[in-house]
Structure 1
Amino acid sequence: MKYLLAGGRQISSRCCWSRYYSISGGNTKSAGERLRVAVVGGGGVGLATALHLAPLIKSGLIGGPIDVYDAAEQQSSTIGVGIWSTALYGFRDSKDVDSHQIAYNDMVRNGTFSQGVGFRSPRGDWLAESNLSGSETPDLLFLRQSDMIGALRKAVHHEVQLGNVVMHSGTYGKIRSISEDSPDPWSASLEIETNGPDKPTEKTARDYHLIVAADGMNSVLRKTYGGHVITKRRFLGTNNLEDGSGGPMDLPDGRNNGEVEETWATSGHAEATGTQDRHYHVFRGNSPVTRQEVKGLEKAFQTWGESGNMRFATVPMEFTLAGGATEERHTWFITIDDSKIASEHDLARRKEMLLNAFRDWHDPIRQLVEATPPDEILMDRAMAHKHSCEPVVNFNGVVHSIRKKPVPANGNGPVIQFVGDSFMTVDPILAQGYTFGIEGAAALAQSLSVCLDVGKTVSSSTSNQRQLAFDPHLLRKELLDRYDKRLSRLICELRCSEIVQVLGQPTKGSLSGLISRRIIRPLMRLTPDAIKTPFFNRVMQYSLGLLSRQKE
């Protein structure tokens, strides 16, 4: 089934050969090959995945070690990032897992929990406020990206010392593809790009039953093997398609609309794995001003613009320096659709243009930006995937469809599981990227603990009678079921992204922007806080999928 949201973003694409499996097996663990796992990507989500899977080695469900392949193409920055408590629960509550406690305690020690957030107009008046310190609202931890990555690396290093994780980085960390000529029915090795993109690859020493793609928005595994089957089903979403299907906010209802038709098309594959320009740039910086120096920085706030995709947000954070002293910073974000500012190469001039664009906005916006050195202001184009990417559960079938030639093995090959931005990069407007990815890593570990604990020895090959200690069909069914459950969380985030886009970041000359300025915001000013605050608290809970979990 395909689900579409604004701009043609699709959040599900189902391949019909992968859906139905019979479940069999007893209640005891079996002898044979344990599940071998590789994680492609050594960023925040890849490290979190290794940490969440590591305890399954001790319990005998996974055959260690977990191999993490890190191309190390991007360095972490000191700009602040937010992690909601829904992503921290898995570490915090694992009291008997030392590495989880290391990750959690280090992140909390180097970050700041936000107590509240306000929503303002460019003139400075408060439209609404939300309290994040209550017992019913999630907590938001804000810390430098480098501190978050450092905490996860420290925790993974603990697992490395225990022999549960092996890190492959540099020359031997860049994965180009998966071996497509594996003779084993349920596993394959990876192809390492050791000598450049135009040179032959080297196979990894081990082959893997489960390959976790955590290599970000531009995931090579997603581009090659994800979104491989286009199915003919009813389209649902906010945009009408060329065939007239779809309608406003017609989101998925979970109903199966009949049989599917499998086809392979280059254009369809590109659509399924492609990205979408969100038509604005994001500028980020850490301002060194303090609450004692500048008024109005007591709590985090967002200022909603009125056109041009303009929005401002700032969040305070404190972190500990090497000598033990505490330093205060205020991370700020600007979004704007202005090609002249984005194309300006002189950093000082670009900063002046940003200040000029927001010259009529309230204080302390100007003070925050002015105090930030030009060379420390980062700029990124806002991009998002159009589609989510479900697990590839019939790798050999996909390879056969792509290459148009038989594969050596008679099974389905390894499973590819996508997590984080490789699963789906969403509009950065809610800043939930790390949260969603780390949640997904924890959910994967939970699914594996369920399906691998029901053991039945399975013959891996009729020729050599290699035995598996898990049911590969049950593994695939569980990962597909997990994907369906994660979609409900994703839908909540996408819906809220669309709402915030309309209310707080309207495009120039748009009808939604006019309605927001002339109708919605005046009503917000008139509505008592006793009504607005609980409402915005519920919106935050909904965006994190907490309300749907309560119903379950």
Structure 2
Amino acid sequence: MGGTAVVAGGGIGGLAVALGLRRVGWDVSVVERAPVLADVGAGISLHANGLRALDVLGVGQAVRAAARPQYTGGTRTPDGGWLSRMDGAALERELGTPIVGIPRADLHRLLRAALPAECLVVGAEVTTVDRTEPGRVRIPLDDGVLDADLLVAADGVNSRLRTQLFPAHPGPAYSGSTVLRAITEHPVDALSTDFAVTWGPGAEFGHVVFADGRAEWHAVLNSAAGVRHDDPLAAMRRRFRDWHDPIPRLLDATRPDAVLHHDIRELVTPLPSFAVGRIALLGDAAHAMTPNLGQGACQALEDAAVLAAALAAEPTVESALTRYDTQRRPRSQSVARAARQAGRMGQQLTHSMAIALRNTALRLAPSGVTVRAILRHADWKPPRLS
């Protein structure tokens, strides 16, 4: 089955599903509200499930070539002590690949480069859809109307299309945490691990090293929603001034204007379906989750591969979207619940006794526990795209 599709949203999930649909014979237009597809953002870690999805979408090799494997790292305390370590080589033996780190802009650029330029419609936004004509969807834009057999809503955590399709749904909720992140201006010397996460009361600081030696850092903090700083970098220096090396060096290697700050919002109330008629929801529009497992983008990439495979295998769009919903909704919503729980037991803990019990449990756990925890979500087999 082939046809015409419109993808609302030109982020990682939207570009990925466009690649998948084209591989199974569909004509695709990606509609992105930004006037320019700028290469911005911080960093991203991709687990085996995300890389496997990229493989079937045709860009896995290019992404691996641009990324840095994460073989060494783990979880620490603010004084530098280790709570747990991750054996990236053991993970690679189990899954065929380690976790990799890549600037989000580089991943976006690689996905975009694999699509013909004429697929991308920038400076336009899909805010509504007309479903009155049987067998078609009509998407009004400022300069006309797009007719399609399929609409993919990949328009993010604040999806307007999700609101239109599910008006009674409460939408995204604030998680209680806010995140500041940046990529260092230059390589940072003598970083001893490929990545690390440090947990303190109500706070987390982590970093990922990229192939060019620069590093992405993130600081996740318990906070009221909407709190902002006049000088975010200075605020982070004050907040983490007593934490272990290399945290101060990472902050010192960062330009003040490079710091991004976002409140973390998630779909606490699960959607009843990822498909309505000829409309599929994908990525954050379908299952926005907290970043505590590093699975948000990976789940969007899974969505893209599964949706393309369903449309290739099923005789109708409606049956394909039923298959997509059946395969994707239970898994992605389970991962979202696990991410939420990981945050509550990790960065969000503030009570000293609870923190002490958690830290003791992590220190006493066998060395393979961390690998098994990652395998629980990363060991996913992608469908084949014909």
Same fold (TM over 0.5): yes
- Cα distance in 2 for residues equivalent to 1:286 and 1:378: 10
**Which of the residues 144, 165, 168 maps onto 2:121?**
168
SS in 2 for 1:506: coil
**Structure 1 residue 85 corresponds to structure 2 residue 48:** yes
Q: Is 2:172–2:267's contact at 8 Å kept on the other side of the alignment?
A: yes
- Cα distance in 2 for residues equivalent to 1:142 and 1:191: 38
- 2:156 — aligned with what? 216
- Cα distance in 1 for residues equivalent to 2:20 and 2:226: 42
- Cα distance in 1 for residues equivalent to 2:56 and 2:309: 14
**Structure 1 residue 316 corresponds to structure 2 residue 182:** no
SS in 1 for 2:148: coil
SS in 2 for 1:113: strand
Give 1:23-422 correspondences, 5 Å limit: 34-57=2-25, 62=26, 65-72=27-34, 75-77=38-40, 79-93=42-56, 100=58, 103-133=59-89, 134-137=92-95, 139-157=98-116, 166-170=119-123, 173-182=124-133, 185-194=134-143, 202-204=144-146, 207-225=147-165, 227=166, 269-271=168-170, 274-288=171-185, 290=187, 293-294=189-190, 296-306=191-201, 309-318=202-211, 327-338=212-223, 342-345=227-230, 347=231, 350-389=232-271, 390-394=273-277, 415-422=278-285
**Which of the residues 525, 532, 543 maps onto 2:363?**
525
Unaligned runs of 5+ in 1: 1-28, 95-99, 195-201, 229-268, 319-326, 395-414, 453-471
Choose 486-495 or 426-435, whichever is displaced more. 486-495
Post-superposition Cα deviations, 1:242-301, rounded to whole Å, max 9, x if no partner, equal xxxxxxxxxxxxxxxxxxxxxxxxxxx142xx110111210111224646x34x533311
Q: Is 1:492–1:543's contact at 8 Å kept on the other side of the alignment?
A: no
Q: 1:48 to 1:333 in 2, by over 3 A?
A: same
**Structure 1 residue 535 corresponds to structure 2 residue 369:** yes
For 2:213, give the aligned amino acid.
E
- Cα distance in 1 for residues equivalent to 2:65 and 2:94: 23
**Higher-Rg member (1/2):** 1
Q: Is 1:85–1:139's contact at 8 Å kept on the other side of the alignment?
A: yes
Aligned length: 377
1:45, CA displacement in angstroms?
1.2
Q: 1:128 to 1:66 in 2, by over 3 A?
A: same
For 2:94, give the aligned amino acid.
E
Q: Is 1:297–1:316's contact at 8 Å kept on the other side of the alignment?
A: no
1:125, CA displacement in angstroms?
0.9
Post-superposition Cα deviations, 1:452-471, rounded to whole Å, max 9, x if no partner, equal 3xxxxxxxxxxxxxxxxxxx
Q: Is 1:113–1:141's contact at 8 Å kept on the other side of the alignment?
A: yes
- Cα distance in 1 for residues equivalent to 2:178 and 2:274: 31
Q: Is 1:177–1:221's contact at 8 Å kept on the other side of the alignment?
A: yes
SS in 1 for 2:115: helix
1:491, CA displacement in angstroms?
4.0
- Cα distance in 2 for residues equivalent to 1:534 and 1:387: 33
Q: Is 1:178–1:188's contact at 8 Å kept on the other side of the alignment?
A: yes
For 2:292, give the aligned amino acid.
I
For 1:521, give the aligned amino acid.
N
SS in 1 for 2:84: strand
Q: Is 1:281–1:379's contact at 8 Å kept on the other side of the alignment?
A: yes
For 2:16, give the aligned amino acid.
A
Q: 1:519 to 1:393 in 2, by over 3 A?
A: closer
- Cα distance in 2 for residues equivalent to 1:444 and 1:538: 28
Aligned Cα RMSD in Å?
2.6
For 1:178, give the aligned amino acid.
V
SS in 1 for 2:318: helix
Post-superposition Cα deviations, 1:401-455, rounded to whole Å, max 9, x if no partner, equal xxxxxxxxxxxxxx11011111121112223222111110000011112113xxx
Q: 1:72 to 1:303 in 2, by over 3 A?
A: same
1:384, CA displacement in angstroms?
1.0
**Structure 1 residue 514 corresponds to structure 2 residue 348:** no
Q: 1:89 to 1:518 in 2, by over 3 A?
A: closer
Q: Is 2:24–2:312's contact at 8 Å kept on the other side of the alignment?
A: yes
1:35, CA displacement in angstroms?
3.2
- 1:261 — aligned with what? none
- Cα distance in 2 for residues equivalent to 1:369 and 1:214: 33
1:545, CA displacement in angstroms?
5.8
- Cα distance in 1 for residues equivalent to 2:364 and 2:169: 48
- Cα distance in 2 for residues equivalent to 1:112 and 1:277: 32
SS in 2 for 1:178: coil
SS in 2 for 1:282: strand
1:352, CA displacement in angstroms?
2.4
1:340, CA displacement in angstroms?
11
Q: Is 2:49–2:379's contact at 8 Å kept on the other side of the alignment?
A: no
1:122, CA displacement in angstroms?
1.3
Q: Is 1:488–1:545's contact at 8 Å kept on the other side of the alignment?
A: no
1:139, CA displacement in angstroms?
2.6
- Cα distance in 1 for residues equivalent to 2:38 and 2:292: 22
Q: Is 2:176–2:225's contact at 8 Å kept on the other side of the alignment?
A: no
- Cα distance in 2 for residues equivalent to 1:338 and 1:219: 24
1:494, CA displacement in angstroms?
2.6
- Cα distance in 2 for residues equivalent to 1:485 and 1:545: 15
- 2:314 — aligned with what? 451
TM-score normalised according to structure 2 size: 0.88
1:335, CA displacement in angstroms?
0.8
- 1:503 — aligned with what? 345
- Cα distance in 2 for residues equivalent to 1:129 and 1:537: 9
- 2:296 — aligned with what? 433
**Structure 1 residue 489 corresponds to structure 2 residue 331:** yes
